[in-house]
Structure 1
Amino acid sequence: MRRFFARLRPERSESGVFDELPEGVRPSLLFAFDGFLNAGSAPRLAVEHLQSRDEGEVVHEFDLDDYYDYRGRRPPMVFDRDRYAEYDRPSLELRVHHDDHGAPYLVLSGPEPDFRWEQFAEEVHEIVEEYGVELVIGLGAVPMGVPHTRPSVITNHASRRELLDRKNLFRAQVVIPASIHSVLEIRLGEWGHDSVGYVAHVPQYVAQVEYPSASVALLEAVAGRTGLHFDLEELRLQQAETVADIHKQVEEQDGGDVLANLERQYDQMTRSAVEPPLVADESDLPTGDEIGSQFEEFLAQLDRREPGTGE
């Protein structure tokens, strides 16, 4: 196996960064990537919320030249009249954070690797062993036929069934596109390390805009699983504002008829299905065109807003 410790800051192995943990307790590692499983930007918002409360310390930086497709996902750059002024260099970093009670944990975040997934998994494996990580937790989000007026649903998966801590609403066997989330979980399990994942279901009609409801659900799942303490008040305020905006647009567009149909179908599915499909009966669900036409103006209004102003 390749060794990557040269990229770790040398002092970390001797710094005792996890000395404050009780004897026999090992840290958890959370990971969230911008890429395939990022509907509603929910994993990114979750990480940004954690970093807003504790910036953390970078203890490992991945060499993105090994993993990133610069031509496929060109980073933004500022051209100022007659010169290139700023380059927003992408980064994939591992940070040590502390929860509201001072307990340390690790967060790996940044763009999802485009290349060399097996090499990346090996590098993460080295980190897991170097820091004595007890549990690796992946955060993801997918667009689904669910209404925003219902509690956010989480699908739980794990490298071992004994690690599951909740019963999944959707339990069908399907073929899906692979992601680095799934490859990491499989490989870490093969190497004897426990790994779990939480995937939030985001209403498909808002999957392209920020959806804090799913971020709250993800962090609540992590807190319940690990015992870490996160103050989610600010994120819940964002959640309430976003839901209010969505509901207002729904009422203005069609009086809520499409949403009401979706709610009825969703409620029927959750009540009656023992082995429900991943989506409800397509003959009864609103079509993509129907949903798109009802929310087109809503999404356009969000795109026109000034960042951070809410206007």
Structure 2
Amino acid sequence: MRAEPMHETFMISAFEGWNDASQAASEVIHYLIGHYESKLIHEINSDGYYDYQATRPMLCHITGRARIIWPHTSFYDITLSPDLHVLVQIAPEPNYHWKDYCREVLHVAEDYDVTHVITLGSMYAACPHTRPLPVDISSATCSCELDREYSGPIGITTILDQMACNAGMRTTSMWVSIPKYMNTDMCAQGTLELVHGLSTILGVPLDTKDLAARAETWKMKASTIAACDDRLSAYIAKLEREYDLAQRARTIASLGAPQAEQLVKEAEAFLKRME
């Protein structure tokens, strides 16, 4: 295990595909690359890692010439402030050889003295667009701390987290939940929630003005869709009640006995009104 560093050097990773509902996670990387001074510093070729029938190459035309763009991993150095550079990674989730792939990623991270790996993900869930989208943040300094409560299928982000921990790096996993009834659109609100979380972890205010405007457009579209569908509106109202009750429960748990008792009475009255 390496010694505790005097300062943190961050790598932020996101993968398109299974870990990227409504592209909310990968758009964080694209947003940072487009919004701040960035420089492409390394790439990992696709051979051996991808099934080209599942993740197909793309044909594009640049200056009048046809070019094939193969799936690949890109690393950028991004200047977020005069005192903070971060390494970011963006790639489609590989189809094969995950352990070899993560070793190659971590070799790049070690070359740039990364001490803290932040992985981003987004998933569809039963949550309303009218409330802040839930963000789950978990941190670890050793592999035994990873995913203590979850059992089930995992993506490449969890493998990278565990292997980074085993290599002596700190890790933070951050996932945002996206309303499953909005699974056909990119979710700028989910991207915004992740950027807010990154700002807290990195300790720097990140510019979100353009992203916030896109998030408002997404929310207005969701509300318009709901207004045209009575069943969807009723479903969203149910999700809102569940969200508000869960918030009340968390507030009660954080307070002393007298205040908690009063809030329990208010919650009971709220439930009676909903009957």
Same fold at TM > 0.5: yes
1:308 alignment counterpart: none
* Cα shift at 1:201: 0.8
Find the aligned partners of 1:172 and 1:115 in 2 and give their Cα distance: 26
Asked if residue 258 in structure 1 is aligned to residue 235 in structure 2, the reply is: yes
Find the aligned partners of 1:46 and 1:88 in 2 and give their Cα distance: 22
Give the secondary-structure state (helix, strand or coil) at the position aligned to 1:199. strand
| Cα 1:203–1:101 shift into 2, 3 Å | farther
Give the secondary-structure state (helix, strand or coil) at the position aligned to 1:97. strand
Asked if residue 134 in structure 1 is aligned to residue 115 in structure 2, the reply is: yes
Find the aligned partners of 2:30 and 2:218 in 1 and give their Cα distance: 17
Q: Is the 8 A contact 1:100 1:231 kept in 2?
A: no
Please list the CA deviations of residues 243-263 of structure 1 after superposition, one character each: whole Å capped at 9, or x if unmatched. Answer: 011101111222822211221
Q: How many residues align?
A: 241
* Cα shift at 1:86: 4.7
Paired residues for 1:143-182 under 5 Å: 143-160=124-141, 173-182=149-158
Q: Is the 8 A contact 2:57 2:71 kept in 1?
A: yes
Deviates more, 1:143-152 or 1:58-67: 58-67
Give the secondary-structure state (helix, strand or coil) at the position aligned to 1:157. strand
Q: Is the 8 A contact 1:159 1:186 kept in 2?
A: no
Paired residues for 1:51-200 under 5 Å: 51-54=33-36, 56-77=38-59, 85-101=66-82, 103-160=84-141, 173-200=149-176
Structure 2 gaps, min length 5 = 254-275
1:28 alignment counterpart: 10
* Cα shift at 1:107: 0.3
Q: Is the 8 A contact 2:37 2:79 kept in 1?
A: no
Q: Is the 8 A contact 1:34 1:111 kept in 2?
A: yes
Find the aligned partners of 2:151 and 2:29 in 1 and give their Cα distance: 29
Find the aligned partners of 2:215 and 2:23 in 1 and give their Cα distance: 13
Structure 1 gaps, min length 5 = 1-22, 165-170, 276-311
Give the secondary-structure state (helix, strand or coil) at the position aligned to 1:56. strand
Find the aligned partners of 2:19 and 2:36 in 1 and give their Cα distance: 24
Find the aligned partners of 1:217 and 1:186 in 2 and give their Cα distance: 24
Q: Is the 8 A contact 1:202 1:214 kept in 2?
A: yes
Please list the CA deviations of residues 166-187 of structure 1 after superposition, one character each: whole Å capped at 9, or x if unmatched. Answer: xxxxx99342212110011111
Q: Is the 8 A contact 1:141 1:202 kept in 2?
A: yes
Find the aligned partners of 1:234 and 1:100 in 2 and give their Cα distance: 18
Paired residues for 1:216-295 under 5 Å: 216-254=192-230, 256-272=233-249
Provide the TM-score with structure 2 as the length reference.
0.79
Deviates more, 1:23-32 or 1:210-219: 23-32
| Cα 1:102–1:78 shift into 2, 3 Å | same
Find the aligned partners of 2:43 and 2:201 in 1 and give their Cα distance: 27
Provide the TM-score with structure 1 as the length reference.
0.71
Q: Is the 8 A contact 2:76 2:89 kept in 1?
A: yes
Give the secondary-structure state (helix, strand or coil) at the position aligned to 1:69. coil
Give the secondary-structure state (helix, strand or coil) at the position aligned to 1:66. coil
Letter in 2 for 1:64: S
Aligned with residue 190 of structure 2, among 196, 201, 214: 214
Give the secondary-structure state (helix, strand or coil) at the position aligned to 1:173. coil
1:293 alignment counterpart: none
RMSD: 2.7
Identity of aligned residues (%): 23
Please list the CA deviations of residues 2-55 of structure 1 after superposition, one character each: whole Å capped at 9, or x if unmatched. Answer: xxxxxxxxxxxxxxxxxxxxx943421100110111012101221111111136
| Cα 1:183–1:172 shift into 2, 3 Å | closer
Give the secondary-structure state (helix, strand or coil) at the position aligned to 2:137. strand
Please list the CA deviations of residues 209-240 of structure 1 after superposition, one character each: whole Å capped at 9, or x if unmatched. Answer: 11111111111111111123321100000000
Find the aligned partners of 1:54 and 1:89 in 2 and give their Cα distance: 25
Letter in 2 for 1:159: A
